[in-house]
C-alpha cells in the first residue's frame, strides 16, 4: 500500500507540473502529428508487403519506418526533457527552447534512434521466431531494455551523449542507484488507464454496439472514444517525460526538483547499500 500511495503522489506531482506548464503537452502532440503521416508512408507499406509475402522489399521499408518513428519520438521527447529541466530550475522556458536543444542534439538523437531500433528489431525477431521460449525471452529482454534505458532521453537532453555513452550512463544509474524506479511509471500508466483508457474503451465499445441501430450516434461515440484515447496517450507520454527528468536529477545528483519531495523520489529510487544521495532542493 505504501508503494501505491507513493506512486499516486508522484503521478499527482507530475500532473501538477503539466497543468502549470501546459506548453509541455505540445511536444507529444507535435510528435504524434509527425508520426501518423510518416507511419502511413513508410511503416504501413512495409508491413503490407511483409504480410503479402514480399519480405525483400517489405522488411527494409518497415525497419526504415521504425527508425523514422523512433527518431521523431526521441526528438520531441528530448525537447520536452530540456524544457522541463529549465522549468524545474525556475527559468523561463518555451517550446522553442526545448526544440532548440533537440536540434542541437540531432546527431545524438539520430544515433540513439538507430541503436534503439536495432535492439527493438532483434528483440522482436526473438519473440516472433523463437516459439514460446522466444516469446518469454523476448519479453524479458524487452522489459530489461526499458528499465536500463529509462533515463536515456534525459541523459541525451541534459548531457548530450552519444548512443553508447547514453546506454552506459543510463545503465550505470540503473545498476548503481535503482531499486524500484518503475513505481512512478506504473502509477502514471495506471492512472491514465483508469481515467483515460477505460472510459475511451467504454465509449468505443458502446458506439460499436449502437452503430447498427443508430449509425450517427454510434459513430459519434466511437470518434469521441478515439479522441479521449489519443489525449490519454499524449498525457501519459508528457507525465512520464516530466517524471523522468525529476528522477534523473535525483538519481544522478541527489537534487529534488519540480515540487517533488525527497520521500516521493526515494519511493522510486533505492540506492545500493542504503546510501543516501546528497540533498539539493530547488
Tens digit of pLDDT at every position of the chain (282 positions)? 555 666 677 788 888 888 889 999 999 999 999 988 888 888 888 888 888 888 888 889 999 999 999 999 999 999 999 999 999 988 989 999 999 999 999 999 999 999 999 999 999 999 888 789 989 999 999 988 988 898 999 999 999 999 999 999 998 877 765 654 556 666 677 778 888 889 889 988 988 888 777 777 888 888 888 888 888 888 888 888 888 898 888 888 777 887 777 776 766 655 544 444 444 444
For residue 279, the model assigns a pLDDT of: 47
Q: Which of 13, 19, 85, 88 is nearest to 282 (CA)?
A: 88
For residue 219, the model assigns a pLDDT of: 82
**pTM, two decimal places:** 0.83
Q: Is 94 in contact with 26 (CB distance < 8 Å)? A: no
Q: How far apart are the first and last CA of the chain?
A: 29
The Cα 99–Cα 79 span in angstroms is 5
pLDDT in tens, 15-51: 888 888 999 999 999 999 998 888 888 888 888 888 8
The Cα 108–Cα 96 span in angstroms is 19
Q: What is the DSSP string of 15-36?
A: HHHHHH-GGGGHHHHHHHHHHH
For residue 249, the model assigns a pLDDT of: 87
The phi, psi pair for 281, rounded to 5°, reads -100, 130
For residue 273, the model assigns a pLDDT of: 46
Helix or strand holding residue 222 (H, E): helix 215-253
pLDDT in tens, 122-162: 999 998 887 899 899 999 999 889 888 989 999 999 999 99
Amino acid at each position: 500500500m505504501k508503494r501505491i500511495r507513493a506512486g499516486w503522489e508522484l503521478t499527482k506531482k507530475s500532473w501538477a507540473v503539466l497543468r502549470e506548464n501546459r506548453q509541455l503537452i505540445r511536444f507529444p502532440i507535435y510528435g504524434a502529428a509527425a508520426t501518423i503521416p510518416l507511419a502511413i508512408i513508410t511503416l504501413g507499406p512495409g508491413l503490407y508487403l511483409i504480410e503479402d509475402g514480399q519480405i525483400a522489399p517489405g522488411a527494409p521499408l518497415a525497419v526504415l519506418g521504425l527508425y523514422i518513428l523512433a527518431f521523431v519520438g526521441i526528438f520531441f521527447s528530448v525537447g520536452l526533457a530540456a524544457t522541463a529541466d529549465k522549468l524545474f530550475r525556475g527559468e523561463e522556458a518555451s517550446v522553442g527552447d526545448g526544440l532548440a536543444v533537440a536540434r542541437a542534439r540531432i546527431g545524438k538523437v539520430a544515433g540513439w534512434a538507430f541503436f534503439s531500433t536495432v535492439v527493438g528489431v532483434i528483440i522482436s525477431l526473438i519473440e516472433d521466431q523463437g516459439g514460446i521460449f522466444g516469446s518469454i525471452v523476448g519479453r524479458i529482454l524487452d522489459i530489461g531494455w526499458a528499465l536500463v534505458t529509462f533515463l536515456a532521453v534525459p541523459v541525451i537532453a541534459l548531457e548530450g551523449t552519444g548512443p553508447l555513452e547514453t546506454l552506459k550512463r543510463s545503465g550505470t544509474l540503473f545498476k548503481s542507484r535503482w531499486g524500484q524506479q518503475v513505481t512512478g511509471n506504473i502509477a502514471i500508466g495506471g492512472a491514465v488507464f483508469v481515467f483515460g483508457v477505460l472510459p475511451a474503451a467504454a465509449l468505443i465499445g458502446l458506439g460499436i454496439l449502437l452503430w447498427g441501430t443508430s449509425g450517427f450516434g454510434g459513430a459519434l461515440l466511437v470518434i469521441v472514444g478515439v479522441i479521449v484515447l489519443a489525449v490519454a496517450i499524449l498525457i501519459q507520454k508528457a507525465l512520464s517525460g516530466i517524471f523522468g527528468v525529476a528522477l534523473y536529477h535525483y538519481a544522478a545528483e541527489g537534487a529534488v526538483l519540480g515540487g517533488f519531495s525527497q520521500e516521493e523520489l526515494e519511493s522510486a529510487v533505492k540506492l545500493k547499500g542504503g546510501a543516501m544521495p546528497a540533498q539539493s532542493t530547488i
